[in-house]
């Protein structure tokens, strides 16, 4: 029974992390597309901010999320005793 509860808690923590990461990614991706007209009034490095978000920002956010996910998933694995040796 304890192993079953541990597996459910592990799966719940994993899905929670995945949900958070996907929401952050979708918002960063959508910001460059949906908010581009509003953001284009601001320039960053000579380029409109909407362009920067769509072309560069979403890539940087995605890479940061990969590292965050790997570190956080390692913590979750250790917490529930699922780490690889």
Judge whether 84 lies within some domain.
no
Question: For 24-57, how does the pLDDT look when each residue is reduced to its tens digit (9 = 90+)?
Answer: 988 877 777 787 888 888 887 888 888 777 777 7
Better pLDDT: 7 or 18: 18
Judge whether 48 lies within some domain.
yes
What per-residue confidence (pLDDT) applies to 69?
96
Radius of gyration of the chain (CA): 18
In which domain, by residue range, is 6 found? 2-79
Asked if residue 36 lies in contact with residue 54, where contact means CB atoms within 8 angstroms, the answer is yes
Asked if residue 25 lies in contact with residue 3, where contact means CB atoms within 8 angstroms, the answer is no
Domain count, the chain: 1
Question: For 61-83, how does the pLDDT look when each residue is reduced to its tens digit (9 = 90+)?
Answer: 889 999 999 999 999 999 998 87
């Amino acid at each position: 029974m304890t192993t079953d509860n541990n597996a459910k808690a592990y799966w719940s923590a994993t899905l929670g992390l995945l949900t958070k990461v996907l929401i952050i990614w979708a918002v960063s991706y959508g910001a460059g597309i949906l908010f581009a007209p509003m953001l284009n009034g601001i320039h960053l490095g000579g380029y409109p901010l909407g362009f920067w978000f769509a072309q560069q920002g979403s890539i940087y956010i995605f890479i940061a999320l990969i590292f965050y996910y790997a570190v956080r998933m390692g913590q979750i694995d250790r917490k529930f005793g699922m780490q690889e040796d």
